Amino acid sequence: MAEDGAFTFFRESLMAWHFENPRPLPWKETDDPYKIWISEIILQQTRIIQGIPYYERFVKKYPTVCDLAKASEAEVLKDWQGLGYNSRARNLRKAAITVCEDHSGYFPGTYDDLITLSGIGPYTAAAIASFAFGERVPVIDANVIRILCRYLGIEEVPVGRNVRLQMESVLNDAMMGADPAEFNQAIMNFGALQCTPGKPDCAACPLSDTCYAYNTDRVGELPKTRKRKPRRERFFHYLVLKSDEGVMIHHRTKKDIWEGMYDFPLKELESALPLKLKQLNDWAVSLVNTEKYVLSDPVCDTQILTHQKISCVFYPCTVKSLPGSETPLLEKARTEEIFFVANRNLHKFAVPKIIDCYFRVKSILL
C-alpha cells in the first residue's frame, strides 16, 4: 500500500465491513479506561466466550481501579482462577495501585504514559489510548498481524522490530481520516471474524482483490511462524493430607508457574514413577504428628501449559482424628508456605486448574 488511493480503499473497505458486521461485546459501549483495560488484559491468551463472565464478575466486584488496588493479591488471584497466565492478575493489581497512588485514581491519558504501567505493553496501551482517549495510535494484535501479513505479503516471521515499524507505518497512514477507536475496533474484528487463522471465507472478503496472499494462493502460509520449542516436561508428586475437617495446602511463593497460588505439599522429581511406601510414610510423618493415617492408591493427571507439560501424581492420605484435639490434622512442619485449611475456608484460596480438578473429582468442594 504505497499510494494514498490504496490506503483509502483499505480503510473504506474495512470500515464498510465493520458497520455491516457489528460485534456487540460488554465493554465495547464504554470509554471508561478502567473497564477497557480490564477487558483487554483478560482477553490476552483467553477466548472471548470464556473471558466475558470473568470481565463481568471483575467489574462488578471491583467497580473502580481503586477498589481493585485495595484487594489483596490472594483475593485477585482467586478471582482470576481458571484464566491462567497469573502474572496478568498480579500485574493488574500492581498497575491499579500505581494509578491510585501516583495518578489520584485517574488513568494516564496517553500511550506513552499508559505503557509505563505494570503489565501494559504496546497493544494494550494502544487499545486504551484509542478507545478511551481517542489517541491516533494503531493497535497491533495477532488479528492485525495476520491481516497485514496476508494483505501485504510480509514474508518475515512477524516478531522483529522492523516488521512492527512497517506495520505501524501502514496502519498510521490507513487510519487517517477515520475515528481511531472505530478503525482499531474494525481491524481487530475483521481479523477475528473474516480474516481468520484457519480457513477464511476469502470469496466474501472485501479486500480479496488486492490481497497478496489470496492472489498468490498463499493464505494458508501467512503469517509465517517460528518453530515452537518442545515443551519442558515436569513431574510433580503431591501428598494430599486430609482429615474430615480439612486439608494441608502449600503456598507457591517462588518465581515459577502458578506463583501466588496454592497446591499440596510437593516433591518435584525426575519421573512420574510412584513413590515407594516407605518414602510416603517418611514424608507423611514429617508433616503431621501422628501415624494414624491411611494411604490410598495414587491418582495421576496431566496439565498442558504453553511451554510445559506437568505430570502429577497425587497420594491421598487420610489422617485419623486425634483424641481431645480441636484440629484433627496437626502439622509438625507448619510454615508460612505449608499449613492446614478447614474445608469451609478452601474456597478462599486460588488453586491451579489441575488442583481444582482433583478437588472436584474427590468431591472436596472449593
Structural domains for the chain: 4-215 (1.10.340.30), 232-361 (3.90.79.10)
Residue 287's Cβ-side half-sphere holds a number of Cα atoms within 13 Å equal to 27
* pLDDT recorded at residue 243: 87
Q: Quote the cell numbers at residue 149.
A: 501479513
| Residues 175 and 11: beta-carbon distance below 8 Å | yes
* pLDDT recorded at residue 5: 67
Q: How far apart are the first and last CA of the chain?
A: 55
| Residues 234 and 309: beta-carbon distance below 8 Å | yes
* pLDDT recorded at residue 363: 60
135 flagged as catalytic: no
Give whole-number Cα distances, 317 to 236, 287, 361, 362, in Å: 16, 12, 15, 12
Among 29, 40, 56, 182, the active-site one is 40
Query: At which residue does the C-alpha cell 488511493 appear?
Result: 5
For residue 67, which amino acid is it? D
DSSP conformation letters of 119-183: T--HHHHHHHHHHHH--------HHHHHHHHHHHT--S-TTSHHHHHHHHHHHHHHTTTS-HHHH
Give whole-number Cα distances, 324 to 64, 102, 328, 330, in Å: 48, 53, 9, 12
Helix H or strand E encompassing 240:
strand 232-242
**Helix residue spans in the chain (DSSP H):** 4-20, 33-43, 48-61, 65-70, 73-80, 87-102, 111-114, 122-133, 142-152, 161-174, 180-193, 212-215, 277-287, 353-361
pLDDT tens, the chain, 366 aa long:
545 667 889 999 999 999 999 888 888 889 999 999 999 999 988 888 999 999 999 999 999 999 999 999 999 999 999 998 899 999 999 999 999 999 999 999 999 999 999 999 999 999 999 999 999 999 999 999 999 999 999 999 998 889 999 999 999 999 998 999 999 999 999 999 999 998 899 999 999 999 999 999 999 999 998 888 899 999 999 999 998 888 999 999 999 999 999 999 999 999 999 999 999 999 998 888 777 889 999 999 999 998 999 999 999 999 876 544 445 455 555 567 899 888 889 989 999 999 999 988 776 544
Which residues sit opposite 259 in a β-bridge? none
| Residues 303 and 353: beta-carbon distance below 8 Å | yes
Q: Quote the cell numbers at residue 353.
A: 486448574
